[in-house]
Amino acid sequence: MELRRDIPTEGELMINVLLVEDHELVRLGIKRLLSDVATINVIGEASCGEDAISFVRSHEVTPDIVLMDVNMPGIGGLEATRRLLQLQPQIKIIIVTVYAEEPFPSRLLQVGAKGYLTKGCCVEEMTNAIKTVHSGERYIAPEVAQRLALTLLPGGSSAPFESLSDRELQVMLMLTKGQRTQDISKKLCLSPKTVSTYRHRLYQKLDVQGDVELTHLALRYGIIES
């Protein structure tokens, strides 16, 4: 049997964690790293926001911390964060993503995320973030905090996606994944007409002519991965 790397001190509480990440290998890697931390217990995994919500609704043990990816199939991390906090406001959500640039950090923190990490972080930083957020404080990775601070300066942000509302940003992410209007309508509980309205607003605000140009623009600014 492999021994845990650390030993909980007297009085330390076990922190129950839910992993929400669509790449199985990434989930397995995070779970394996956290298994060496005696005070952290991964109680479940989900490959999309919908599954995370179903887990919280049906599981007897509510996670203390949710490690949430952003760009996933279905409703994605932004909407999943919003819905999970409506369902269980006491849950603390830490975003773990490749996206350090705006608009993601500020939008996710605004809807209630308590932490923000990039996937390049080490296990020590992730462990520290989990314990810090569990204690009631926020944790934002230094490189993300620096970018957030820069956006507050005059002329600090020039990304076109800053002009999008949260819902427009969510629809944009789903469109760039090739999801159809009917699918987006169902997943976001909107009418197809409303989704089409959001799509045309996106085209106007971002000055693109269709979903292909929209996807190319998102790739250029690092909003989605190639």
Q: Model confidence over 181-192: pLDDT tens digits?
A: 999 999 899 999
Q: 160-220 adopts what CATH topology?
A: Arc Repressor Mutant, subunit A (1.10.10)
pTM: 0.84
- Kindly give the residue spans of alpha helices, DSSP state H, lying in the chain: 24-34, 49-58, 76-87, 104-110, 123-134, 142-151, 166-176, 181-188, 192-206, 211-220
Domain ranges within the chain, ordered by starting residue: 15-151, 160-220
Rounded CA-CA distance 217/221 in Å is 6
CATH architecture for segment(s) 15-151: 3-Layer(aba) Sandwich (3.40)
Question: For 46-67, how does the pLDDT look when each residue is reduced to its tens digit (9 = 90+)?
Answer: 999 999 999 999 999 999 999 9
Instruction: State the distance between the two ends of the chain, measured CA to CA, in whole angstroms.
Output: 40
Confidence of residue 9 (pLDDT cuts 50, 70, 90): low
What 3-state DSSP class applies to 27? Answer: helix
Question: For 127-144, how does the pLDDT look when each residue is reduced to its tens digit (9 = 90+)?
Answer: 999 999 999 999 999 989
The pLDDT > 90 percentage for the chain reads 68
Q: Any idea what DSSP says for residue 162?
A: G
Distances (CA, A) of 24 to 45, 73, 226: 9, 13, 18
β-strand partners of 49: none
Query: Would you say how long the chain is, in residues?
Result: 226
Burial class (CB in 10 A: 0-12, 13-18, 19+), 196: middle
Which of 145, 142, 211 lies closest to 180, judged by CA? 211
Q: Helix crossing, 24-34 with 123-134: angle to 10°?
A: 70
92 phi, psi to nearest 5 deg:
-110, 125
Contacts of 172 (CB under 8 A, 6+ apart): 161, 164, 202, 214, 218, 223
Rounded CA-CA distance 163/15 in Å is 38
pLDDT of residue 4: 44
Rounded CA-CA distance 204/148 in Å is 26
Rounded CA-CA distance 88/61 in Å is 12
